[in-house]
Structure 1
Amino acid sequence: MGIFFDYFRAGTDDEALAVHDWPAGPTCPPEGTEPKDSVEIKGIDPHVMMGTLEALLTGHRYEDITDRPGHARELTISDEGGQAVFALADEFAVALAAAGDEEIRAVADPWSRTEEFWGNADPAELAEIVSDLRDLAVRAVGQEQHLYCWMSL
């Protein structure tokens, strides 16, 4: 079945934490609550894979990115470990928001060949995912919000 990751935007950590209790994530809120602006992705985690993407987009070392205190910061995880919410670093949101279409296509190929994709991901599909994430980041940065990730096993 796989692990699902929904990347979404919110104004504060508390607002993002509310999503943890939504059984189907940020796109399926409880009645009377608005869904979060989000991108649903299967299998692309906020720590390793997004750290690699940020390294490709910025030219910074992967180790420097993943060593930052704000990188894929765990806000909460369920007792059973089946759901979690992570905060993504604002530096990543800014780098995503600044990425142009050409840059996205340029990083999709080396990203597709990383160990985490077993070297055989489709660069065109990854470019589409990064474009969707970039659009989410543009909206977040433009409204002084942050990016988050909801994970479900």
Structure 2
Amino acid sequence: MGTPVRAAIVTEYFAAASDDVAVLALLEPDGPSALAQGSGEPLFDTVTLPSIEPFVMLGTLHHLLSGRPYRECAADLRHGQVVGGGEEGPWVVTVSEGLVQALAETTRGRLADVASRWARTPELRQLAHEHRPERLTPAVIALAALAHRAQDVRHTLYCWTRLPA
């Protein structure tokens, strides 16, 4: 008998000008990538990273990118802070400025190396079917590009997450 596969959480990372603006993503059932009425454009600049939760997994990514101890990365006041959402979700969660900066400043080659190392961490090995290094690398590069665009307009990153339906 095989090991049961856990239902993965739904996650989308997005850029917003402030916590107050970011929580507006909760007004749409489809979250921050919902299309705005009239323009057909997404409400927010988003990157989908299936099952990459903003707490332990992003703390590990921050640790791998920065070389800082995981405990220090996770202790950042803006790491994984819930800024809005109901008791059963969805929720909007902050991404630390340190991680945003590290993502924005890291070269593609280093991002690929970090993504490969990240894929081998215990948290991601559980989801190996979804996060093989060859699939994770483009996702990390896309997240870094989002971080760079966010910094260009003085926004920060957030995670919109909900439990699977």
Q: TM-score range by the shorter chain?
A: over 0.9
Task: Show the counterpart of 2:156.
Answer: 146
| Paired residues of 2:9 and 2:161 also in contact (CA < 8 A) | yes
CA–CA separation in structure 1 for the residues paired with 2:149 and 2:125:
32
Alpha-carbon distance in 2 for matches of 1:114, 1:123: 11
Taking the aligned partners of 1:145 and 1:82, their CA distance within structure 2 comes to 24
Contact 1:22 1:29 in 2 (8 A): no
- Scaled by the length of structure 2, what TM-score is found? 0.86
1:2-151 to 2 correspondence within 5 Å? Answer: 2-29=8-35, 31=37, 35-79=43-87, 81-118=88-125, 120=128, 121-151=131-161
Write out the 4+ residue segments of structure 1 that deviate beyond 4 Å after TM superposition.
Answer: none
Aligned pair count reads 152
RMSD: 1.6
- With structure 1 as the length reference, what TM-score do the two structures score? 0.92
Deviation at residue 31 of structure 1 after TM alignment = 3.0
Structure 1, gaps ≥5 residues long: none
Say which one has the larger Rg.
Answer: 2
Identity among equivalent pairs (%): 32
Offset, 1:118: 2.2
Per-residue deviation, 1:29:
4.6
The gaps in structure 2 that reach 5 residues or longer are: 1-6
